[in-house]
Structure 1
């Protein structure tokens, strides 16, 4: 049984992401674990920058939040299309990323689903800092980011944006292949050629992906675009086809590469109108 971790701040954006997750897995028996993080007078667990609140203050805040979470869980149970689905909740007085990281390990989460929207109210700003931080810092679990205006209808096509610059292993694609097969949604592998054609290494990596998808009997096709920057190329491709999901595989980078590399999903935030799935290379430990 899959476990889906749902960070929530009780906003409309997070509630929409929860609804999307329930619809995405409406035919599967799975467990949904809600997570809410909070501060009390700017204090977070083990914080050395702010004094700990007076006795009883943290306990009262936790009790109030858990009442809200319990009510939300009851609402979800009543609305769930699948009675074999389970629900739970937890809260933490700590920053979001450490709380999510701990929850992934504790509940053995298979996916984190989070609602996205910047705090400026600008309709072109899709991702807030919390979402970007999760995309960058969480390495053990796929992250699915749902723009606040997007509701789930179906998955008819998944776009895997990839530059073929790094070698993959089967684990990198397992989640994506399973999602594709669950919905009979073909995977469209998209490469944006900013600097001409593929070199020999990129060709080898592309052929490995295509061969692996053939072995897994996953419906797929390869596409390329030229003379476009990467975020705009992805936007043009998905917009023209009405694609339902954009996936990226976030490989490990050296310290120098991290300093120079501006993550693609930050740029894509200004163009994306569909959910984005970040797949991290599993730890070899």
Structure 2
């Protein structure tokens, strides 16, 4: 049973991510959890409200949240009436990351899927604030879907790595399962002027090969250079459908997310981007 979290702010981008998710997992028995956290809507302009007005605003936000979730549920069921899929809606008064992590732990969620931008849709930014926060702080993999991206079977998967960090078996299984479902090729990209020599790197490389043993597994090495340029170059000439990167301490991805410099650095893939969270999960 696959369990997918779908944070939504009721934007077109969020619904497009939902459509991608039901297409990606169309062959799997899956549970989809549509989550809307509405605390930010309630807190806006709160200073000008009396206590009664604040409570009324909170009640209205909850009512509107539940109503719109039901509308989305009806729309996706009509669009994709898959008997393998079950849907659940969750309206929560709280911050998105907190409520997402609560649901992840309670339901043992496998992956969160969301749009790269939300309702504000700031065109100057590749990733919206909520998406960045979810990538940084939620306790499960996050699959980000670009605006207006039309579903395409992920036949070619690019996985840049330096082989220096140990990987979570559960996180890799998600990638392996997707690859097996579509008979995809996984391309491991090592960016360094030095060959893999350390025992740590060799052990981690062997572990990756073991996890992907039933898949088409390719190893590529690129010389030392700007990591963003190297990654974007490989996305283009290898016709990649899905970019996978691991977020862990002291990694390239961790550094640019923490510094909020994704747009400055230029890592702006126009394809789905799966961020693996390489931390131990506490399941309730």
CA distance in 2, matches of 1:203, 1:58: 52
Secondary structure of the corresponding residue to residue 261 of structure 1: helix
CA distance in 2, matches of 1:169, 1:29: 23
Secondary structure of the corresponding residue to residue 43 of structure 2: coil
CA distance in 1, matches of 2:172, 2:130: 25
- In the alignment, which residue of structure 1 is the partner of 2:151? 152
- In the alignment, which residue of structure 2 is the partner of 1:266? 262
Deviation at 1:40, TM superposition (A): 4.3
| CA pair 151-269 structure 1, distance change in 2 beyond 3 A | farther
Deviation at 1:161, TM superposition (A): 1.1
5 Å-filtered alignment, 1:1-285, equals 1-38=1-38, 39-42=40-43, 53-117=53-117, 119-122=121-124, 125-139=125-139, 141-193=140-192, 195-201=193-199, 203-205=201-203, 207-213=205-211, 216-252=213-249, 261-263=255-257, 266=262, 270-283=267-280
| CA pair 40-128 structure 1, distance change in 2 beyond 3 A | closer
CA contact (8 A) 2:163 2:205 kept: no
CA contact (8 A) 1:172 1:249 kept: no
CA contact (8 A) 2:168 2:279 kept: no
TM-score normalized with structure 2 length: 0.85
| CA pair 263-209 structure 1, distance change in 2 beyond 3 A | farther
Q: What do you get for the CA RMSD once the two structures are aligned?
A: 2.9
Deviation at 1:81, TM superposition (A): 4.3
| CA pair 2-206 structure 1, distance change in 2 beyond 3 A | closer
Deviation at 1:117, TM superposition (A): 2.7
Secondary structure of the corresponding residue to residue 87 of structure 1: strand
Secondary structure of the corresponding residue to residue 262 of structure 1: helix
Which is worse superposed, 169-178 or 224-233?
Answer: 169-178
Count of paired positions:
273
Question: Structure 1: where are the runs of 5+ without partners?
Answer: none
TM-score normalized with structure 1 length: 0.85
CA distance in 2, matches of 1:6, 1:245: 18
Deviation by residue 1:37-92 (Cα, 9 ceiling, x = unmatched):
22344269xx99x9754444322221122111111101111111412311121112
| CA pair 14-68 structure 1, distance change in 2 beyond 3 A | same
| CA pair 56-200 structure 1, distance change in 2 beyond 3 A | same
CA distance in 1, matches of 2:20, 2:210: 29
Deviation at 1:3, TM superposition (A): 1.7
CA contact (8 A) 2:209 2:217 kept: no
CA distance in 2, matches of 1:180, 1:269: 27
